[in-house]
């Protein structure tokens, strides 16, 4: 019951679709995987794999300053002396919300089974993945690199301007009316919403309302606006929520491909009070 209630509260608040907590967890996992692959590369003396975890410039050059060394030197010493960068787990979680995370790392010796030093690693997104831009013992020097790290990341290509036809906003008539949430699909599993009642109400003129009840008692009511572009649905409930919708008879699916979540609803002709 607690799980269902937790999921439904998220749905009712709209954060179900935004997935902020999930996004942070995904980022934390992605950062951790960078260090895991780097560790494996040092243990197996696989320089190609290790190099892939670094920004090309940071691998060849020391970008930090006197307290840092380039990635190729990290590989040379780590593979030869038997140590690797062990990130602080708590820092990985906290840094997940940062665009330029700086992760404290122990230089962990597998031979001595203890840390022999400590450094700070700066990670950036490069070619749609996280990589290490530089690392050094002096945090202020690493922070200085972070302040100019954008110069090492190519700008994101501008998205093409949509045509008038594709950008035209409409109010899909197939969504008009009241809908009741019956289940949520996440990670390939379907979770029914039993004691929790979720209602989405799409009204003419772009008005929108949502209602969440638990065992008949109101938990949350929200009002906002909506519009559609093709099969894309955009809700404005204090924040913008983009999703895709599919209606088959009296069944409606609202999904966000990015977060792999789907809310299943059925048409509810009665007036929601």
pLDDT per residue, tens digit, the chain (273 aa), is 434 433 443 344 444 433 444 556 788 889 999 999 999 999 999 999 999 999 999 999 999 999 999 999 999 999 999 999 999 988 888 877 788 899 999 999 999 999 999 999 999 999 889 999 999 999 999 999 999 887 776 655 455 555 544 458 888 888 999 999 999 888 788 888 887 888 899 998 899 998 888 877 877 888 899 999 988 999 888 778 888 999 999 999 998 777 778 999 999 876 555
- The reported pLDDT for the residue numbered 154 is 63
Residue 120's nearest CA partner among 99, 91, 97, 94 is 91
Q: What is the dihedral of CA 99, 10, 182, 271, to 10 degrees?
A: -120
Q: How far is 53 from 84, CA to CA, in rounded Å?
A: 13
Per-residue model confidence (pLDDT) at position 194: 80
Q: Which pLDDT score is estimated for 260?
A: 78
3-state secondary structure of 164: helix
Sequence-ordered alpha helix ranges (H) in the chain:
2-13, 15-18, 20-44, 47-51, 56-60, 71-81, 89-95, 139-147, 164-167
CA dist list (Å): 131 to 53, 62, 137, 260? 5, 15, 18, 25
CATH number for the region 21-152 comes to 3.10.450
Report if pTM > 0.75.
Answer: no
Q: Cα separation of 66 and 137, whole Å?
A: 9
Classify burial at 155, counting beta carbons within 10 Å of its beta carbon; exposed 0-12, middle 13-18, buried 19 or more. exposed
Task: Say which DSSP state 268 is in.
Answer: -
Q: Spelled out in words, what is the top-level CATH class assigned to the domain 164-267? A: mainly beta
Tell me how far apart the alpha carbons of residues 108 and 38 are, in angstroms, rounded to a whole number: 13
pLDDT at 19: 44
φ, ψ dihedrals at 106, nearest 5° = -85, 140
pLDDT at position 269, please? 77
Q: Report the pLDDT value the prediction gives residue 61, as an integer from 0 to 100.
A: 95
pLDDT of residue 9: 38
pLDDT of residue 270: 62
Long-range contacts of 256-260 (CB under 8 A, 24+ apart): 256/17, 256/19, 258/19, 259/17, 259/19, 259/22, 259/23, 260/186, 260/187
Q: Which residues contact 244 (CB under 8 A, 6 or more apart)?
A: 231, 232, 233, 254, 255, 256, 257
pLDDT computed for residue 271 by the predictor: 59
| Token pair for 44 | 């197996």
Instruction: State residue 3's pLDDT score.
Output: 42
Which residue intervals of the chain bear CATH 2.40.128.280? 164-267
Measured on CA atoms in the order 153, 155, 156, 157, is the torsion positive or negative?
negative
Is 83 strand, coil or helix? strand
What pLDDT score does 159 carry?
Answer: 54
Residue intervals in the chain for CATH 3.10.450: 21-152
For the residues of 14-79, what is the DSSP string, one character each? THHHH-HHHHHHHHHHHHHHHHHHHHHHHHHT-HHHHHTTB-HHHHHS--S-TTB--HHHHHHHHH
């Amino acid at each position: 019951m607690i799980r269902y209630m937790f999921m439904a509260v998220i749905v009712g608040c709209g954060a179900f679709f935004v997935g902020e907590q999930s996004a942070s967890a995904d980022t934390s996992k992605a950062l951790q995987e960078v260090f895991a692959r780097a560790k494996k590369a040092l243990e197996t003396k696989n320089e190609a794999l290790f190099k892939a975890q670094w920004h090309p410039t940071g691998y060849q050059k020391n970008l930090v300053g006197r307290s840092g060394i380039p990635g190729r030197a990290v590989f040379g010493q780590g593979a030869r002396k038997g140590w690797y960068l062990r990130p602080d787990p708590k820092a990985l979680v906290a840094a997940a919300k940062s665009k330029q995370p700086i992760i404290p790392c122990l230089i962990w010796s597998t031979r001595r089974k203890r840390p022999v030093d400590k450094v700070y690693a700066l990670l950036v997104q490069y070619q749609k993945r996280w990589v290490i831009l530089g690392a050094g013992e002096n945090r202020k020097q690493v922070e200085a690199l972070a302040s100019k790290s954008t110069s090492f990341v190519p700008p994101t290509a501008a998205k093409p301007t949509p045509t008038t036809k594709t950008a035209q906003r409409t109010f899909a008539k197939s969504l008009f009316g009241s809908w009741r949430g019956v289940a949520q699909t996440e990670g390939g599993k379907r979770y029914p919403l039993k004691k929790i009642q979720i209602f989405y109400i799409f009204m003419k003129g772009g008005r929108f309302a949502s209602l969440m009840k638990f065992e008949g008692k109101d938990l949350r009511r929200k009002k906002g606006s909506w519009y559609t572009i093709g099969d894309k649905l955009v809700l404005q409930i204090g924040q913008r929520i983009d999703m895709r919708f599919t209606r088959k008879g009296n069944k409606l699916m609202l999904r966000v491909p990015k977060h792999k979540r789907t809310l299943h609803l059925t048409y509810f002709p009665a007036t929601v009070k």
